[in-house]
Structure 1
């Protein structure tokens, strides 16, 4: 097997709050660059009805089609039923129709080459199995969560997504398969093993802080963090979900286990050389969902050549500093943002240390760091006070309109005004952003002789990104209409990635 991918939402192609476009994600682009035939030599799940849990782009496209580029006073009487109709389509499809947990994935497919799953943290790679997913979906059904509700997501969306990825055929022999079990399956059964593994986990060990704008740190007790409750092992994640920021010691314990498990698996087939390409954890406070407002401060961080720009507050993208002060809207302070970033910087030092330790056991390195954290920091528009440091591929120099990391905005004529590298959830990359991630991986892969080119079909990537090629003319409502913005943000409050009950209390 030439390429296998283990990761979370970014590796899954999660965009605009939905697992929807794995066809556009970076590992699919890498597979094509390697000459693999997508659909046979590299398989990934497709997500119909906009995907799980809810697709913001689909919602806005539907509203745009019905109301045009403006929502007037009378239109507001019908906007919620329209939004409800879009959510109902996904809810019906994934709870009761062809996409339900009781239906096999079409075509008799038993496995995918990309087993990335939205919301996965490090330990989920071996703890979450098909059996766990089935248990949690049934438990949710018994609680009545599957009953239709207003503006409701499909129930147990996290587990429904994971089940489709981990056991698409619903074959009982795969009930105890996790992401790492599938890696073992392929590496030990395929004659050539898994030649190239993309391994990118760790972002969800901090991401909930930005989605929920609150810090709930693990207890600095690896035994507590990693322990599976003995009575109900299928419910272990309920204990872990209260945390949204891993203490570096807890992170190291999990990542050490991850690499130990991967290394043991990869040593199980010595018929051919193998490589593991590991992504570092990006500074999540760069994500445009958390908008910096108020006075700025230049912070010099050890090991970084240039200072970074931080803001007094970080709140949701439509709001300004006066909203934070006057209404008490959820926010992070400058100190919060610095603490989160310092934790993530520690994560990446830990990853490098552990990778160096693993490589010391081999005549030549098997594990290769893809420094996505540094790449994203160099791309970040506001973090660099508008002076982007990143060297984009040649194609980007004269493409118009230009793209950046600011939150997406287009005017009523359909012209992109800002953004383009992040999707509408303000966290996950757009198709163009996914292309840049592929570019970073390909540069490292080329260094070690896996492929001989970093070229990508940028023209196709840009045209496939409908946020760029067909800008949404309704976007000004996000910025001009607070009621509309809060309605959409309510969706984030029920997002299973949030890991923050306070957010649901505020907006849910």
Structure 2
């Protein structure tokens, strides 16, 4: 799809969440459900190749600040570090047995430990306690599932996920939880009573929206967040392969080979999702734009920028492959031209999302736009912050909250590294190079809160009754204390890239985890 480069300048972020259209919102009564979120791994709280920290996802952080965390329902993944494989757990296990470095002669033993840990995780979820899905008739408020795209939100249900979970194979070499995404979804989507097993993410949110009796409100949901679309382009960088969508993009059984959706295919799916969202009884709906996936440090640009003032590098490869070691004949990569095409497609996705929000507001719905794409652009270290000549006229660096600015060093978008148990670089992305750390999720939560305040959403103290006046600022000191990668990283973080690169080469870990997303 070489003709997809339709603009040479980066898209200008939308700075007005109302997209310039005023609406008189209905604020009568108190909706029963204060916050509901539909999304993928970014909304579920995925970190370091696993879903495990759901109590610190950005919706849960917002619920804490709303004063309703105790009522906010989200799934738990407490077994063996989460699902499908927590690479932070692996690093800490290696540190406990081999210290801060793995010596050359210890590598065979470390590989055995890594595979033993993977085997334990696999057994837990495929044959052990992880098989038992909690039975509840209550619908989750965080309805996000890692790996899901627009079609999944429209079509996947608990019943569909059960049908896709096959008989597990105990492969002694390629040990990874099979059907990890479907297994994760069964803890998110309604499963009881039995007829609820046919509900999709959107259906489940609609059911919450119908719960209006006795609240004095026409809406069962106060704020609905919709953050979908990243997985319609993400695999271009996680697989380092650009395969444009073709016929079958809207079919659960045929879409897996595609790593990037053509804009016209994305827009066709988006229209269907927007139509479903418009039927959900939510007082306010906040749509998030799709971040530029090529900024994530899982795909590191090598060999210098293509030209002075360019946003792009000639090649993008794994972050543990240095410029000197990179071999385009041997190493996985995409080209700078392909990265530009993917970014341009994402820009068109976001134009389509903006149009949906504008049209809804013109029709009287209180919908808003959260510019998460522009947020990541403003945090992008190698693309803009470190290259003055590449900055577009609108670009300004994102001002970190005071608690993060005082950290040494302040967090940035580089791949996380450290020395002797102290972080020396990165801090916004977890160890998979795609998903945020806890403080990274906190930044996203803060931006969401800002839009909610614009919408007139009231915030309360933890007691749920005492109003909070004025500007609402997230307690980042709390998040830092709970961020194990930023506050107390593994002692072997200094050799993180080498260790992760070794683990990926030995077990094909990253490729297989991210391939399980779709």
Bucket of the pairwise TM-score, normalised by the shorter protein: 0.7 to 0.9
Q: Please name the residue that 2:353 is paired with.
A: 351
In the TM superposition, what are the counterparts of 1:216-255 in structure 2 within 5 Å? 216-219=243-246, 224-226=248-250, 236-255=251-270
List per-residue Cα deviations over 1:117-152 (Å, max 9, x = no partner): 000001211200111111011xx21xxx33353341
Q: 1:346 to 1:172 in 2, by over 3 A?
A: same
TM-superposition CA deviations, 1:282-326 (whole Å, max 9, x none): 001000000011121468xxxxxxx66321110000002343326
Residue in structure 1 matched with residue 299 of structure 2 by the alignment: 290
Q: Pick from 37, 47, 51: which aligns with 1:5? A: 37
* DSSP 3-state at the match of 1:494: helix
Secondary structure of 1:423's partner? coil
Between the aligned partners of 2:110 and 2:503, the Cα distance in structure 1 is 13
Is the CA contact (8 Å cut-off) linking 1:323 and 1:329 kept in structure 2?
no
Helix, strand or coil at the partner of 1:328:
coil
What is the SS of the residue equivalent to 1:3?
Answer: strand
Indicate yes or no: 2:436 matched with 1:425.
no
Q: 2:321 aligns with which of 300, 315, 319?
A: 319
1:262 matched to 2:282? The reply is no
Query: Counterparts in 2 of 1:88-127, with a 5 A limit?
Result: 88-100=119-131, 103-105=132-134, 108=136, 110-127=138-155
Tell me how far 1:496 sits from its aligned partner.
4.3
**CA distance in 2 between partners of 1:132 and 1:480 (Å):** 39
From 101, 118, 130, the counterpart of 1:87: 118
Is the contact between residue 428 and residue 439 of structure 2 (CA under 8 Å) also seen in structure 1?
A: yes
When residues 368 and 458 of structure 1 are mapped into structure 2, their CA distance, relative to the original with a 3 A threshold, is: same
Q: What residue is the counterpart of 1:172 in the other structure?
A: 194
Cα separation, partners in 2 of 1:498 and 1:212, compared to 1, 3 Å: farther
Q: Does 1:42 align with 2:72?
A: yes
**1:454/1:489 CA distance change after superposition, 3 Å:** farther
* Contact 2:137 2:193 survives alignment (8 Å): no
Match of 1:156 among 179, 183, 197: 179
Separation in structure 2 between the aligned mates of residue 474 and residue 495 of structure 1, nearest angstrom: 23
Q: How far did 1:499 drift?
A: 7.2
Going from structure 1 to structure 2, the CA distance change for 1:324 and 1:171 (only over 3 Å counts) comes to: farther
Q: What is the CA–CA distance in structure 2 between the aligned matches of 1:179 and 1:497, rounded to whole Å?
A: 22
For each residue in 1:59-87, what CA deviation from the matched residue of structure 2 results, as whole angstroms up to 9, or x when unmatched?
11111111110111332121122112221
Question: Which of these residues, 20, 45, 57, is aligned with residue 25 of structure 1?
Answer: 57
2:331, 2:113 → 1: CA distance? 27
Q: How does 1:293-308 map to 2 (within 5 A)?
A: 293-297=302-306
Conserved in 1, the CA contact under 8 Å of 2:385 and 2:397?
no
Q: Does residue 185 of the first structure (1) align with residue 187 of the second (2)?
A: no
Contact conserved, 2:239 with 2:514, CA < 8 A, in 1? no
Distance 1:437 1:67 in 2: 36
Structure 2 equivalent of residue 494 of structure 1: 512
In the alignment, structure 1 residue 441 sits paired with structure 2 residue 472: no
Q: How does 1:346-425 map to 2 (within 5 A)?
A: 346-362=348-364, 365-386=365-386, 389-411=397-419, 413-425=420-432
Once the two structures are superposed, what CA deviation does each residue of 1:93-140 show, in whole Å capped at 9, x if it has no partner?
A: 21122211xx2317x463311010000001211200111111011xx2
Separation of aligned partners in 1, 2:227 and 2:331? 33
CA distance in 1, matches of 2:494, 2:401: 30
Bigger RCO of structures 1 and 2 (CA < 8 A, at least 6 apart): 2
> Which one of 278, 281, 288 corresponds to residue 290 of structure 2?
281
Please give the alpha-carbon distance, in whole angstroms, between the structure 1 residues aligned to 2:402 and 2:101: 37
Q: Is the 8 A contact 1:479 1:485 kept in 2?
A: no
Counterpart of 1:461 in structure 2 is: 479
For residues 479 and 14 of structure 1, the distance between their equivalents in structure 2, rounded to whole angstroms, comes to 20
For residue 356 of structure 1, report the CA deviation from its aligned partner: 0.7
CA distance, structure 1, for counterparts of residue 373 and residue 203 of structure 2: 28
Q: SS of the residue aligned with 1:277?
A: strand
Which whole-Å CA distance do the structure 2 matches of 1:482 and 1:147 have between them? 23
Contact 1:29 1:438 in 2 (8 A): yes
Q: What TM-score does the superposition give when structure 2 sets the normalisation length? A: 0.85
In the TM superposition, what is the alpha-carbon distance from 1:490 to its structure 2 partner?
1.4
Residue segments in structure 2 that go unaligned for 5+ positions in a row: 1-32, 388-395, 459-469
TM normalised by structure 1 equals: 0.86
Q: Give the count of matched residue pairs.
A: 461
User: Which range moved further: 423-432 or 465-474?
Assistant: 465-474
Q: Whole-Å Cα distance in 2 between the matches of residues 385 and 180 of structure 1?
A: 38
